[in-house]
A and B are shown apart, each in its own frame.
Chain A
Amino acid sequence: MNAFVETTNLARASIKSPLVMGYEVVIGFETHAQLSTRSKIFSRAPTAFGAEPNTQACAVDLALPGTLPVMNKGAVERAIQFGLAIGAHIAPKSIFARKNYFYPDLPKGYQISQFEIPVVQGGEIEFFLGEQKMSVRLERAHLEEDAGKSLHEDFIGQTGIDLNRAGTPLLEIVTMPDMRSSAEAVAYAKELHKIVTWIGICDGNMQEGSFRCDANVSVRKPGEPLGTRREVKNLNSFKFMQQAIDYEVRWQIEQIEDGIAIQQATVLFNPDTGETRAMRTKEDAADYRYFPDPDLPPLVIADEWVQRVRAEMTELPRVMAQRFVNDYALSEYDATALTQSREMATYFESAAKACGQPKLASNWIMGEVSRRLNADELSIAACPVNAATLAALIGRIADATISNNAAKQVFDAIWNGEGCDVDALIEAKGLKQMNDSGELEAIVDSVLAANPKNVEEYRSGNAKALNALVGQIMKGSKGKANPQQVNDLLKAKLG
């Protein structure tokens, strides 16, 4: 991008930037999201991942003489969806431009992209960094075509070019340089990832290259103008993203401290060494000779289309989170966690509605369910305990049929494939809570009688002495006592 005039993001003006060795870190992101269309942006070849080399590269993709581009409506529709999701302006008229440079994975010797007038302009993305709500402004998002792939490993002194990916539609999403730490950058990237997968415009598969991030990183002493930035390319996993940015920041600071000015460069992160390294500079790389593509008239998006997309759009994560806060009295934090993905949110809401216990449902999902899913590396879609079953289980806790502990046993049983009829499992395992107060009172009396010392200690002020008594009572009741009832009885008898 050209020389930049810095403007302030008022939405975060009060948030202080964390300093690294006395320097403020300034980060902007460029993300290339592959759009989930069936065919390519300018040709009718399929976009499916993993096909044999060059079996999904048609004449247009290969730039054979005489071929011409024809625009995919699905790509435009997805750009509109994204723009609406982030509160951006959808340009009623935008222009496709040619970005000219030579590279073997770029068949035409130019990339069809958008330069001066992109389809999506402005917008913002909000997310949490810990407890702090952050906001990052978007400069623009534009449509362009992806390049092919270069394969170096199998060839000596040569590179193999696979053009299957050439022509896959991309949405390039560019932020203002609003971010001030690597942690924030990762949080932003995760939120963006959530948005594009939530609204269904991108499958978000980072290993397959569906969601590729480049970070523009610079440092400066607070109050000084923006430093020269370097672009850290292809940050394709959240795991390495923070590490790469941290390394780059430290490297830049060390250079500056040594009196060496930062040169604008593109750098690659090496996950094995943990270092960033400047790529071979391409002379005149900056002169792309952009001009409007004469093969493509201007893209006009009528307001009716935008309104139709808006009406058909799925509820956005932020909106849904707010609704959870309002309707289910959840905290903003909990609501955000539950809306980490559409599948998770749907799971929660089905369960909550079915059992009428949103708080309990939230606790279980963020607790036990998430723990087990992570441990077994499963997504919520593959959860062995479905929402209806969880709801039934929670219902039995709420109506005091079983204790929390007993519920965990039932949960485990269902998870391990022992069946999903909650009541049947409770019965089979004899987990019904003892609700007969007479029977319970008898056990309580006998425990109190057998443990005079604990009673003594409790009466002299040692509250912890109660635990041993409770333990004995639970043992005596084979775990079926209703803990609340036990407490009530003890308090009544001991005073």
Chain B
Amino acid sequence: MSLTSDDIARIANLARLALNPEESERMLTQINGFFDMVEKIRAVDTTGVEPLAHPMATIQEITLRLREDLASEPNHREANQRNAPAIERGLFLVPKVIE
């Protein structure tokens, strides 16, 4: 299985990463080399095997814990927005979103 530069462009777009032509080229080579190594997992017969989500599920059932429906988080807007690149009137500002 070999990726093309179209694949690199498509994935970079999905991941919202800007890659210049030289970076794309290097990425293509490195990722193809990587997938050569990864190919061997496809040959493994995993019939009847359930995927392992939580490692402890190997020996016991791990289920989702549920918490009581209580609104106990107070308003910490100032602290939470301390690191924001752009704020106005409490709103996070971004370049205009066109629907």
- A–B touching in complex (CB under 8 Å): yes
A interface list, Cβ under 8 A from B: 37-39, 43-47, 52-59, 62, 64, 70-76, 96, 102-104, 150-152, 155, 157-163, 268, 279-280, 283-284, 287, 289, 292, 294, 296-300
**Are B63 and A298 in contact, CB atoms less than 8 angstroms apart?**
yes
Give the contacting residue for B90; candidates A55, A96, A102; CB below 8 A.
Answer: A55
Question: Which chain B residues numbered 61 to 99 have a C-beta less than 8 Å away from chain A?
Answer: 61-73, 75-77, 80-81, 88-99
**Least Cβ distance of A322 to chain B in Å?**
33
B interface list, Cβ under 8 A from A: 10, 13-14, 16, 51, 53-54, 57, 61-73, 75-77, 80-81, 88-99
**Are A155 and B13 in contact, CB atoms less than 8 angstroms apart?**
no
**Are B97 and A104 in contact, CB atoms less than 8 angstroms apart?**
yes
Q: Which of B10, B68, B94 has most A Cβ within 10 Å? A: B94
A152 neighbours in B (Cβ, 8 Å): 96-97
Q: How far is the CA of A73 from the CA of B67 in the complex (A)?
A: 6
Q: How far is the CA of A37 from the CA of B71 in the complex (A)?
A: 9
Give the contacting residue for B70; candidates A39, A54, A289; CB below 8 A.
Answer: A39
**Which residue of B has the minimal Cβ distance to A302?**
B63
Give the contacting residue for A161; candidates B16, B61, B94; CB below 8 A.
Answer: B94
**Are B71 and A44 in contact, CB atoms less than 8 angstroms apart?**
yes
Given contacts A151-B91, A280-B98, contact A46 B73 (CB under 8 A): yes
**Which residue of B has the minimal Cβ distance to A284?**
B14
**Which residue of B has the minimal Cβ distance to A78?**
B69
Give the contacting residue for B13; candidates A37, A284, A299; CB below 8 A.
Answer: A284
Give the contacting residue for A300; candidates B63, B91, B94, B98; CB below 8 A.
Answer: B63
**Which residue of B has the minimal Cβ distance to A159?**
B97
**Which residue of B has the minimal Cβ distance to A45?**
B73
**Are B90 and A53 in contact, CB atoms less than 8 angstroms apart?**
yes
**Are A158 and B99 in contact, CB atoms less than 8 angstroms apart?**
no
Q: How far is the CA of A56 from the CA of B51 in the complex (A)?
A: 37
Known: A38-B70, A52-B90, A102-B16. 14 other contacts (CB 8 A): A38-B71, A39-B72, A44-B72, A53-B91, A57-B80, A59-B80, A72-B67, A73-B68, A76-B66, A158-B94, A159-B93, A159-B95, A162-B91, A292-B51
B65 neighbours in A (Cβ, 8 Å): 70-71, 297
**Are A159 and B71 in contact, CB atoms less than 8 angstroms apart?**
no
A62 neighbours in B (Cβ, 8 Å): 80
B75 neighbours in A (Cβ, 8 Å): 55-56
B92 neighbours in A (Cβ, 8 Å): 54, 104, 160-161, 163
Q: Which of A53, A74, A152 has most B Cβ within 10 Å? A: A53
Q: How far is the CA of A297 from the CA of B51 in the complex (A)?
A: 13
**Are B90 and A292 in contact, CB atoms less than 8 angstroms apart?**
no
Give the contacting residue for B64; candidates A47, A163, A299; CB below 8 A.
Answer: A299
Q: How far is the CA of A294 from the CA of B14 in the complex (A)?
A: 21
Q: How far is the CA of A76 from the CA of B93 in the complex (A)?
A: 34
